[in-house]
Amino acid sequence: MAAPELVIFDCDGVLVDSEIIAARVEAEILSAAGYEISAEELAETYAGLTFREIMLRIEREAAIPFQISMLDEVERRVDQRLKAEVKAIEGVHEAVAAVTGKRAICSNSSTERLDMMLTKVRLKPFFEGVVFSSRDTPSGKPKPSPDVFLHAAETLAANPAKTFVIEDSIHGIQGAKLAGMRVIGFTGASHTHPGHADMLTEAGAETVIRRHADLPATLAALSAWSED
C-alpha cells in the first residue's frame, strides 16, 4: 500500500485534551440527577459517545429517568469549561504537520465546539474546510455509526480502504472499522486508564500509540503493509 489517501483524526482525546474536562461536567450532572458516577468511570465506559447517547444507555441499564433539560445544561457547562481549560495534546502540531497528504477531522462534537477548540489550540489552520461533525452529516448519526467517516471520505474523494483513522475510543474505532478504514489507537490524553490500549486493540485498532511523536513512523510502517 502506498501513502494513505486520507488521514482522519478524531478531535476529543486525540487532538485536544478535552475528554476528561467533559467527563467531569457530565459526571457532576449525572450524579446530581441520582446516578453516582466518577469522571474517570464515565470516561472509561462512555468515551466517544454523545451525552445524549450516554443518558439513553444509563436510562436503559439503571432505569433512572433523566430530564431532557440536562442536555442543554451539559452543553452549556462543557463549552464554558473547554473555553477556559482545553489544551492541545503534546506533540500534536508536529504530528499533524507531518501528514503531507489529505487530512481531516471526524468528530461527534458540534461544529461550533470544534471551531472553538481548534482555534484556541491553534490547530484550525491545518484543517480548514475538512472538519466533519457527525451532527452535520446527511444521517446525523454519531459514532459508532460509520456515517461521518464515509461522508468525509466521499467529500475528499478518498478510498476508505486507503484511509487511516486516529482514535482514542472504542466507539470511534468501531465506526471507522465499519467504514472499512484502518485504525491507529491513541492513549496520550488525560482520560487514559489501565487497559485502555488493550481495549482499543480489541475494538480493531491495528496498533496503539501514546505519543504523537510516534505517529509519522507508525503511519509509514502500516502504509507499507497492506491487509489485502
Tens of pLDDT, residues 160-186: 999 999 999 999 999 999 999 999 999
Query: What DSSP character marks residue 142?
Result: P
What is the per-residue pLDDT for 149?
Answer: 98
What is the per-residue pLDDT for 225?
Answer: 77
CA angle 143, 155, 149 (to 5 degrees): 15
CB 109 within 8 A of CB 1: no
Helix axes 19-32, 69-85, angle to 10 degrees: 140
What is the per-residue pLDDT for 127?
Answer: 98
CB 204 within 8 A of CB 173: yes
**In terms of Cα–Cα distance, which of 60, 49, 81, 73 is closest to 145?**
49
> Residue 44's pLDDT band (boundaries 50, 70, 90)?
confident
pLDDT tens string 80-112: 999 999 999 999 999 999 998 999 999 999 999
Q: Percent of the chain having pLDDT more than 90?
A: 87
Ordered DSSP codes for 151-202: HHHHHTT--GGGEEEEESSHHHHHHHHHTT-EEEEE--STT--TTHHHHHHH
CA distances from 26 to 49, 169, 181 (A): 12, 17, 30
What is the per-residue pLDDT for 46?
Answer: 87
CB 197 within 8 A of CB 138: no
User: In 86-146, which residue ranges form alpha helices assigned H by DSSP?
Assistant: 92-97, 111-120
CA distances from 130 to 7, 91, 108, 149 (A): 11, 21, 14, 12
- Cα separation, 204 vs 192, in Å, equals 17
Cα radius of gyration rounded to whole Å, the chain: 17
> Residue 7's pLDDT band (boundaries 50, 70, 90)?
very high
CB 64 within 8 A of CB 208: no
* Whole-structure pTM value: 0.91
Cell of 169: 475510543
